[in-house]
Copies of this chain bind each other. A is one copy, B any other.
């Protein structure tokens, strides 16, 4: 199942339009290229609608948001709705500042993302259940965000992923847990943003956004586990992760994928 998405991304090379943060632009563009997708970054109000209209998925990430970029995200998100392509929202740091919280709320209301990915504290903040986030790192245990994820999913009719040591993926009553990945992934900036970007590629080729989220998290997690074996720390891990994403084999994915709850 996971392999089918990987294969489709390779054959279709879907264009994924990213309006994302400065810190991870290079990282996520390379991760998208590594899995076979075609990334484009564009944020000018003058062009985001045209660019989204060319794309097969839209990724919105508020990591280094500012007024004009938020307007661009709204315009692009509406263009994605009109075209019927999936939008993935990464509400980085929501809850940490009023501006982030209001922006995330606005993006939920005005762009109708089909997928949301965040860490536990972000998902809690987004569901108005939890406290503030500490920077962009998780402070709440993942399972504690399950109810928040369910509420978000129901209220906004979308797939919600809570990233952590175990990833939760929720859509209404559907729930999957992904037991892949490596702790070192929390020591590198933008690993969550990479997961979000990959979801864009997977949602571009898979009409079931729940399955797209599961497959993206499995691919990143398995590639991370394989990369760990070839690395001595966060520097060499990042290098190895791109190498592994670009050379994933069906047999490794099937052997290493640890998905709980797909029945």
List residues of chain A with CB under 8 Å of any chain B CB. Answer: 13, 15, 21-27, 29-30, 33-34, 38-44, 46-47, 50-51, 54, 63-68, 93, 96-100, 132, 134-137, 187-190, 231-236, 238-247
B239→A44 contact, CB < 8 A: no
Assembly of this chain: how many copies? 3
Q: Which residue of B lies closest to A25 (CB)?
A: B23
Contact A38 B187 (CB under 8 A): no
Q: Are A54 and B135 in contact (CB under 8 A)?
A: yes
19 A-B interface contacts by CB (under 8 A) = A15-B134, A22-B22, A24-B26, A25-B64, A34-B187, A39-B189, A41-B63, A42-B93, A43-B64, A46-B98, A47-B97, A47-B99, A51-B97, A54-B96, A54-B135, A232-B243, A233-B244, A234-B242, A238-B242
Known A-B contacts A39-B135, A44-B65; the reply to A30 vs B233 at CB < 8 A is no
Nearest 7 interchain pairs by C-beta: A235-B242, A233-B243, A235-B239, A29-B189, A47-B99, A47-B97, A46-B99
B contact residues around A13 at 8 Å (CB): 137
A190 CB contacts on chain B under 8 angstroms: 26, 29
Q: Is the CB of B134 within 8 A of A188?
A: no
Contact flag A23-B23 (CB < 8 Å), given A98-B47, A187-B34: no
* A38 with B235: CB separation less than 8 A: no
**Known contacts A39-B135, A50-B97, A232-B247: does B34 contact A23 (CB below 8 Å)?**
no
Known interface pairs A96-B51, A189-B29. Does A22 touch B41 (Cβ–Cβ under 8 Å)?
A: yes
